[in-house]
Structure 1
């Protein structure tokens, strides 16, 4: 098969041709190349708003691509070792939901870890599939959930031979990777599809000595956040599929929920970023890996903080580790991760990706510089000196195993009542509660509210976590199933 030229940028080139045509717009968007909204044009720049245009024949159509978008997707598929790549402009959330909706229908079982992003459980609310949870192993010292143990996946498959798919997080937010190749082989031997949330693994396809990619492990579908480590604009993403999937059917599923007005700013950013990674990715991510390791070495020299890496590999639930992830344990300085997160932002003007109960994540990627790392290290050193305290009484566990009572879809749509938080113990929740980021539910619809979960929610609120999900935005009340 003839290889495509990764130097090409079909969408970018089409937009450049379009600008030279001096088209008079009598279509949407109504700002008409920025002329109608001068404040927006001044803020974003004329170059940007002039290509915020509508779908038309010369520019193709994301809903049914036949020319430049089709070619750009073919280039992405080759770059990511996939049978086909779909450009997604509703975020990786839409890619994850498209995977689940393509694989499952009402009543189907899908095997998955419970520490999935809320978008996965949202998809179950939409389609009515039933989750079979594999509770992840936990690193007690760090308080973090790990990957999927192969033995636990095998047990779930044996006990649920009618399941249609296995869903895998790879890597997790913290950089933990499962034994993806073995999970795929096991699932396929039992006639099940494998869907991979690869939101944080774009760089795996281009860097040297990285964990195995979903497509190289022969998974059936993967959701890839190009806007995270790939450099494209926020909300732009890819859905990759293997040769066993029906491309036309997957496109139909995507079109159930994705906008019919695909942003050419997002589409062109996918096109340009794919080219950049295909041509320079190996060099870029070697530099990123070196920066992350430099940061780990410097942070671990401070004392108190622990920036962990490949030393936590155990051959199973931590089969591999993403060395670009700067995950840092904070409890030994007597601070919750979210407290360090807030201090870095409020006192040092440093915005990191997230802080949870016991850890923070500083996202290192292609736009970072050594002096940025040094500023972060210096800030953490000062935080230890100024804010360190005794860690007695601090919560240490990031993951609490759920008690699943009914399906997410049933619980979400069932008759419900709103109760004060303290009165919900023992009841069945009908909504989500989560810290965002990372967006992994503490409670999901259909799960029982326990004393440990209530304690966690109150502690997270006290420490300043950004809690989202419930109807009551102050999280003083929860919706629970009526009479259950």
Structure 2
């Protein structure tokens, strides 16, 4: 048995060895190490193209790894404290879907907060699992959804003791964490699996100063976006499993939807990034926390903005807070978060992560420089001076409790008709409407359309949010379940 060494990067090592062998390629991809596509090679670089190779014996195979990919996954599991780690090349979306589909078959229930990413509800459409939504708490001053209250989870379990699993966000996009340890213990006492969407929580595994990670509290599965705070290439992710979850069965579930042509660029980026985090993660994220803390303090000195952090903790719906997050409330200067987002990009050449109605988020990582932080702070001060206005008339909430009528799968596949948005009040949506990012549905398939929801959607559009989800690209019409089906 090999002794695991976090100094290793098995996939990178195998690719370097293979490149030195100067093998003549009569396999795919057809660009043949870049020679067949000169413009792409000039754009991406010869080294990148030479490592875009096919699965073969020396390089293993993602759908059934037995050598270098297997070893890289074992190293990732060791680094993250999991029983096993799967390399995912279809993004954390596919990892979330694999978790739900592992835990629930068609007709089985899963308890989840309604402010989940669309990938979780997509998994319900694919699998036929039935959601039991727990409405998250909300902070009326900031207008943001929070975590799940433990008592609300207890009530959901009491009303649905046959549920197979509970899904938890750790953290939310804004950096807010539920009491995951208590919810995990509660779920396990009732024989339910605990699935954790850790798209924004990679760094939790590498610092004692940050909130607890899914694996550390005994959760059963976690989807981890290594490409966000972990440093790997976009679309690369990890799926972690723990306890009695079957590695073989999860692999089968993953292979239902994940590509059979796993990208070695994505896999090697996971391998190299895991090595970097395992060896240097603690110091990396200490630096990120310090940068975020400094920037929060400077923004709060401007006045009008509120860069919030762990002072919000209340022991339940805000059980903990991710100190690397730079989440900022902007309504007190009379601007929606998306308006600050647009001004920063269009007039200051500063691209932040997202803006919504009341808040915006700047994503801080080890790749940032102090000079860039100063530039952001000075731009925000200038925006306040130039654009600050009366806050009356601004929306002050980000979450509307849904009226769930049908399961997402039933509504999505039901006979449907298309109506202008304004004429759809009272009908049942058969598709999503959401602002992206963050990709949390305002309206999901199976939910009743209300005047309040339509007003909120129109407000988001008016403020410049990028709206997605409907078949109609203009988001002027919506597909609803035919009345004969209701």
**TM-score per shorter chain, which class?**
over 0.9
- In the other structure, the counterpart of 2:435 is 435
Residues 112 and 133, structure 1, Cα contact 8 Å, conserved in 2: yes
After the TM superposition, which residues 69-88 of structure 1 pair with which residues of structure 2 at under 5 Å, given as runs?
Answer: 69-88=69-88
Matched, 1:364 2:360: no
Q: C-alpha distance in 2, partners of 1:411/1:167?
A: 22
Q: C-alpha distance in 1, partners of 2:473/2:380?
A: 32
Matched, 1:304 2:304: yes
- In the other structure, the counterpart of 1:468 is 468
Q: C-alpha distance in 2, partners of 1:184/1:345?
A: 41
After the TM superposition, which residues 187-202 of structure 1 pair with which residues of structure 2 at under 5 Å, given as runs?
Answer: 187-202=187-202
- In the other structure, the counterpart of 2:347 is 347
| Aligned-partner SS, 1:216 | helix
Q: C-alpha distance in 1, partners of 2:444/2:236?
A: 26
After the TM superposition, which residues 161-176 of structure 1 pair with which residues of structure 2 at under 5 Å, given as runs?
Answer: 161-176=161-176
Q: Deviations over 1:265-316 (max 9, x none)?
A: 0000000000000000000000000000000000000011100000100000
- In the other structure, the counterpart of 1:387 is 387
Q: Deviations over 1:199-258 (max 9, x none)?
A: 100000012311000001100000000000000000000000002100000000000000
After the TM superposition, which residues 139-154 of structure 1 pair with which residues of structure 2 at under 5 Å, given as runs?
Answer: 139-154=139-154
- In the other structure, the counterpart of 1:125 is 125
Tell me the TM-score normalized by structure 2.
Answer: 0.99
Q: Deviations over 1:343-372 (max 9, x none)?
A: 000001111100000000000112111111
Matched, 1:480 2:457: no
Q: C-alpha distance in 2, partners of 1:414/1:366?
A: 47
- In the other structure, the counterpart of 2:406 is 406
Structure 1: which 5+ runs fail to align?
Answer: none
Tell me the TM-score normalized by structure 1.
Answer: 0.99
Runs of 4+ displaced beyond 3 Å: none
Matched, 1:252 2:239: no
Residues 203 and 229, structure 1, Cα contact 8 Å, conserved in 2: yes
| Aligned-partner SS, 2:101 | helix
- In the other structure, the counterpart of 1:325 is 325
CA RMSD across the alignment: 0.8
- In the other structure, the counterpart of 2:210 is 210
- In the other structure, the counterpart of 1:396 is 396
Residues 357 and 398, structure 2, Cα contact 8 Å, conserved in 1: yes
Residues 218 and 243, structure 2, Cα contact 8 Å, conserved in 1: no
Structure 2: which 5+ runs fail to align?
Answer: none
- How big is the shift at 1:152? 0.4
Residues 84 and 242, structure 2, Cα contact 8 Å, conserved in 1: yes
- How big is the shift at 1:164? 0.4
Q: C-alpha distance in 1, partners of 2:208/2:369?
A: 20
| Aligned-partner SS, 2:215 | coil
- In the other structure, the counterpart of 1:457 is 457
Q: C-alpha distance in 2, partners of 1:405/1:365?
A: 41
Q: C-alpha distance in 2, partners of 1:330/1:121?
A: 30
Relative distance call for 1:35 and 1:2 in structure 2 (3 A) is closer
Q: Deviations over 1:32-80 (max 9, x none)?
A: 1000111111111001000000000000000000000000000000000
Q: C-alpha distance in 2, partners of 1:370/1:396?
A: 33
Residues 51 and 265, structure 1, Cα contact 8 Å, conserved in 2: yes
| Aligned-partner SS, 2:382 | helix
Q: C-alpha distance in 1, partners of 2:147/2:366?
A: 26
Residues 80 and 205, structure 1, Cα contact 8 Å, conserved in 2: yes
Aligned length: 484
